[in-house]
Structure 1
Amino acid sequence: MSICTYARSVTLTLPLAFTACAGQPGSDSEPDSVGSSTADTLDSTTTGEPTGTSEPTGTGEPACVEDDLMPMPFAGPGYDPANGGLQEPLQDKYVASTTFLVLRGEKAEEFLQTVGAMIPVLMANQGLVGFSTATSAKCGTARTLTVWRDQMAMMNFVSSDEHVAGMTRAQEFSTTGTVTSWEVTRAELPLTWETAMAKATAATPSY
């Protein structure tokens, strides 16, 4: 899969995944008809906390098992799985970042539009190694995993108009969110989602 094809596939797949989040934890809308059993797993306050395990974890992350997590393949300007993985110039160390959001279902469409505007900016950043997104319809969650050549490249994207537009609306789009970054070695790439999820769980929620 080419990088351009991958970027398009992210843009096309995210709407399908996040549409499925409507009526799930983090949504103010009613659960749909796909299962009365779904209603049994949702808290009546629709805060993103499933019943039976409604107490949040120590980090504030809702206690919902994302066993339906749907990740996109990790790829980008610096990582092409069809051409040997990491691309030149190779480095000893890189910077990784991951985000975690519990979405408000009624805001999914606006969220998608905001994310869609970020993708071209992200892919145009030559300091980007690669990225992946993952969603859970069951838990109404959205995750990102990015790897950068250095901190400056990451901050160039973070400070872009498109990303700032999303950050300023984070609490409008989601009930809670966590972002964290750390240094990784070449041998650790590509990172697994288990690693990213563990890092997010260990981090202090942003709100």
Structure 2
Amino acid sequence: MSIHSYALPLSLTLALAACGDTEADSDSSGTTHADDSTGSGEAACVEDDLDPMPFAGPGYDADKGGLQEPLQDKYVASTTFLVLRPETAQDFGATVQAMIPVLTSNPGLVGFSTATSAKCGTARTLTVWRDQTAMMNFVASDEHVAGMTRAQEFSTTGTVTSWEVTRAELPLGWDTAIARATAATPSY
């Protein structure tokens, strides 16, 4: 897979520009549904339009059988969840776009996916790393630090969490990432 195929998907950029209302959803009976995605326990939007890109990266290629050599017994997974401010969508997209080359050039990256909900105005990431050191090398990169320092400018709340996974658990699905983000304490 070429580096260009890791570019921020057009759907993410468009979804960020069209961030929807983040108020609670109600069903036909008027019942408000608790959000299973924020980890806050507060009522919020249901991301039934979540639009993920395929999980891929230097260490994972579905067309070549999935995980690529060298195989390991354990990996590190991480997920982020942001409720975006619609007025900052363009700057947020540019900031994320600047991170992609740094992310994909990290020799410890296995793979990643992003997902957005235009209806809820949310953005999510899911990454898998060969080890904690590789993940922290990306976290400490200038591009990622620049994004982290602007997180509260771009979003009203955010959750970041990481955990160990086995080879048998890969590739991770969005249901796992959402459950992990839901169980974690919001970062702000």
TM-score, L = length of structure 1: 0.82
Distance 1:119 1:62, change over 3 A: farther
Determine the structure 1 residue equivalent to 2:29: none
Determine the structure 2 residue equivalent to 1:59: 39
2:145 match: secondary structure: helix
Rg comparison, structure with higher value: 1
Superposed displacement of residue 93, structure 1: 0.2
Q: Which runs of 5+ in 1 are unaligned?
A: 26-47
Greater relative contact order (Cα 8 A, min sep 6): structure 1 or 2?
A: 2
Determine the structure 1 residue equivalent to 2:161: 180
Determine the structure 2 residue equivalent to 1:75: 56
Q: Which amino acid aligns with 1:15?
A: T
Partner Cα separation in structure 2 for residue 108 and residue 69 of structure 1: 17
Q: Which amino acid aligns with 1:137?
A: A
Tell me the number of residue pairs that the alignment of Structure 1 and Structure 2 aligns.
Answer: 181
Kept in 2, the 8 Å contact 1:6–1:75? The answer is no
Q: Which amino acid aligns with 1:156?
A: N
Determine the structure 2 residue equivalent to 1:201: 182
2:119 match: secondary structure: coil
Moved over 4 A (4+): 54-58
Task: After TM superposition, list the pairs within 5 Å mapping 1:1-207 onto structure 2.
Answer: 2-8=1-7, 10-21=8-19, 24-25=20-21, 48-50=22-24, 53=32, 59-60=39-40, 63-207=44-188
Kept in 2, the 8 Å contact 1:3–1:77? The answer is no
Partner Cα separation in structure 2 for residue 156 and residue 62 of structure 1: 35
Kept in 2, the 8 Å contact 1:59–1:201? The answer is yes
Superposed displacement of residue 18, structure 1: 1.3
Superposed displacement of residue 127, structure 1: 0.1
* Percent identity for Structure 1 against Structure 2: 74
Distance 1:55 1:66, change over 3 A: closer
| 1:181-204 deviations in Å (ceiling 9; x for gaps) | 000000000001000000000000
Partner Cα separation in structure 1 for residue 150 and residue 102 of structure 2: 18
Kept in 1, the 8 Å contact 2:35–2:45? The answer is no
1:180 match: secondary structure: strand
| 1:56-101 deviations in Å (ceiling 9; x for gaps) | 7793265211000000000001001111110000000000000000
Q: Which amino acid aligns with 2:161?
A: T
Superposed displacement of residue 130, structure 1: 0.1
